[in-house]
Structure 1
Amino acid sequence: MQLADIYLSVRRQTFTWVDPGKFHREDFAAHTNGEVVSVCEGADGKIAGFISVWAADDFIHMLYILPEFQGKGAGTALLQSLPGWPEHKYRLKCLINNRDAKAFYLAHGFQVTGRGASPEGDYEELSFTPAPAK
């Protein structure tokens, strides 16, 4: 499955501080179980990346984009595909060492609302709160 390959390769490329042997192709199925997964395709029809959401909590669990599509609007398109975006509140966890991802989310209106720790490292909880209606 292409999404499992994207998940594995991007994790290994991005999370350089984690032993790459801890990441496995079958992680995708386990980590997205029960989640809503949406994909973004490039102009050539190639899958550029995906977003997965635990809908019951409006929690963005994953947003992964292949390196050749990063910075070209795929991540923004996936956020915009979320139900109710941008009038709906969403939250996520972003590893502190993943500076590019944090910058992306902050640029899209997320704010740091908490902190925690995970096996992959310390993270910040980021929340998107819609602007009040005018």
Structure 2
Amino acid sequence: MASDTWTIRAAAGADGAQLADIYLTVRRATFTWVEPGQFRREDFATQSRGEELFVCENRDAEIAGFLALWPPQNFIHMLYVRPALQGSGAGSALLKALPEWPTRRYRLKCLVHNHRARGFYLKHGFEIVGSGWSAEGSYNDMQLPPRG
């Protein structure tokens, strides 16, 4: 899927190193309440195993970010955009490229302390439907409501 600014495509094997770098950089920059040393670059391969990966590129084919989806449960496991490009529309482009967006009832977990991400998902129509606790802190269960 392409827009005037962004192209969304399936991840290729050659993207792995860049996606792992984005994963590590964003986690360390965003999750300031967690000891940065807990995040490792190699965690990306473990955390995304078996998931469908969507990559967002700019006009110059530079990767801006990615989304990891667990299709059997319509679960958005990860959505990360390079810090310099957050707020540029790359995250919105990734969501809008999902199959049957916005009618499919996608769900996700968003850490409560990640105020910017929670606001992003609420802006895109997600609703808080529950809560829980993880090693990284409290989270909200979020889901898109049923739509026509």
* TM-score computed with the length of structure 1 as normaliser: 0.96
Matched, 1:103 2:133: no
Q: Does 2:85 match 1:63? A: no
Residues 41-100 of structure 1: CA distance to partner in whole angstroms, max 9, x if unpaired? 123321000000110000000000001111111000000111111111100000000000
- Give runs of aligned pairs for residues 25-104 of structure 1, distance below 5 A: 25-104=41-120
2:32 is the counterpart of 1:16? yes
Cα drift, residue 130 of structure 1: 3.7
Whether 2:22 is the aligned partner of 1:6: answer yes
TM-score, scaled to structure 2 = 0.87
- Per the alignment, in what secondary structure is the counterpart of residue 46 of structure 2? helix
RMSD: 0.8
Which 4+ runs in 1 deviate beyond 4 A? none
Alignment-derived partner of residue 13 in structure 2 = none
Q: Measure, in 2, the Cα distance between the counterparts of 1:67 and 1:43.
A: 18
**Contact preservation (8 Å) 1:35, 1:53:** yes
CA–CA separation in structure 2 for the residues paired with 1:8 and 1:71:
19
- 1:21 aligned partner, one-letter code: G
What amino acid sits opposite 1:121 in the alignment? Answer: G
Distance 2:64 2:143 in 1: 24
Instruction: Structure 1: give runs of 5+ residues left out of the alignment.
Output: none
d(CA) in 1 for partners of 2:55 and 2:113? 25
Aligned counterparts of 1:4 and 1:56: Cα–Cα separation in 2: 23
Paired letter, 2:140: E
Q: Would you say how many aligned residue pairs link Structure 1 and Structure 2?
A: 132
